[in-house]
Amino acid sequence: MPGAGMPRPEPMPGYGQLLQRCYRGLAGAVRSCTDCGWELSRRSWAENASLACSETLLCLLCAIGWTWLRRAASGCLFRPFGEWCNLQPKDAAKMPESAWKLLFYTLSWSYGAYLLFFTEYPFFHDPPSVFYGWEKGMDVPTDIGIAYLLQGSFYGHSIYATVYMDAWRRDSVVMLIHHVVTLTLIVFSYAFRFHNVGILVLFLHDISDVQLEFTKLNVYFKHRGGIYHRLNDVISNLGCLTFSISWFWFRLYWFPLKVLYATCHSSLQSVPDVPFYFFFNALLLALTLLNLYWFLYIVLFVAKVLTGQMQEVNDVREYDVEESKKTTGPQKAGELQLPKSWKEGNHLKNGLIKDKRL
């Protein structure tokens, strides 16, 4: 039951209502914004943002802590376990990275699920409520603050890890940009006290990362000790299928209908002069388009696996810089050297090879 003075939960809209109401909200905001520009942005930041130096320092220290913890876990747990399982050398080298990410994303998604389903926060079932009672500089609840500290510091660590710890792959620059953008969204949403919607965004995206890293680990473990293990192969195929389904359901169904509806339409109903309205919605809309773009490749990949055009699920993002130098060979005079993945028709996304034989 809604509390006293609180609106009743809205039913989740359909795609048609989403497009209509979001367009109406965005168009109305554009018409009413007569002084949009740098000066308004600077004034909005000064009047509404709230971010203490101590909070920034704590996030930085936690990012350093994640880096230390990953080194310790890889050296004392993940690598020895890979050696004990007698993984193939290339798989043993990459397994600690996926194991580390699986551990973090499982914990972070579980904590997000706890906040949304086992506390009094109604954000998942009533997304417009993320803006109820919003005030600039309002206190962030401790449990949500913990989630933000964990996520913000982890993405700070991930920026360092992408450059200095992870295998350098062809899409590492893109991943680095992704981490910077994600950290920017986390910091800005915390500073402007949009933390309620931030928890919902993180929850809807982390589940795909859990399934992705779990699938990759099974790809690594299906050839160990010089023996093919069918169970890991079956699990990796099922993981690929469930990953595809969850990608659509969480990122292309729930994310637009819950998050975009709340930020584009409901935010203006609760806070008519919500700060940085265009900035946040532009980034969230771009994220939606990226999710849709990659989903098209995921569908193509799954279709090829199910129809037998691909015999097995292989690891994703496997064309790192050193391997590409070995496999492509020297470039002939006057010949345009294309990446091997372009020549063979590969489409890469976070570790799932889409196809080698288009």
pLDDT exceeds 90 at position 129: yes
pLDDT in tens, 172-230: 777 787 788 789 889 999 999 999 999 999 999 999 999 989 999 999 999 888 888 89
pLDDT exceeds 90 at position 34: no
pLDDT in tens, 48-85: 888 999 999 999 999 999 999 999 999 999 999 999 99
Q: Among candidates 305, 325, 317, which has minimal Cα distance to 352?
A: 317
CB-CB contact of 267 with 26 (8 Å): no
pLDDT in tens, 227-245: 888 999 899 889 988 999 9
> In the structure, what pLDDT confidence band is assigned to residue 160 with cuts at 50, 70 and 90?
very high
Q: How many residues does the chain have?
A: 358
Please, which residues have CB within 8 angstroms of residue 115's CB and are 6 or more apart in sequence?
121, 143, 144, 147, 199, 203
> In the structure, what pLDDT confidence band is assigned to residue 319 with cuts at 50, 70 and 90?
very low
pLDDT exceeds 70 at position 146: yes
Q: Among candidates 102, 323, 81, 354, which has minimal Cα distance to 221?
A: 81
Give exposure, 331-356, as e/b (b: 16+ Cβ within 10 Å).
Answer: eeeeeeeeebbeeeebbbbbbbbbbe
Which tokens belong to 21? 């109401």
Q: How many angstroms separate the Cα of 178 from the Cα of each of 59, 68, 187, 196, 214? A: 19, 22, 14, 22, 21
Check residue 343 and give its pLDDT: 38
CA atoms within 13 A on the CB side of 149: 17
DSSP symbol at 223: E
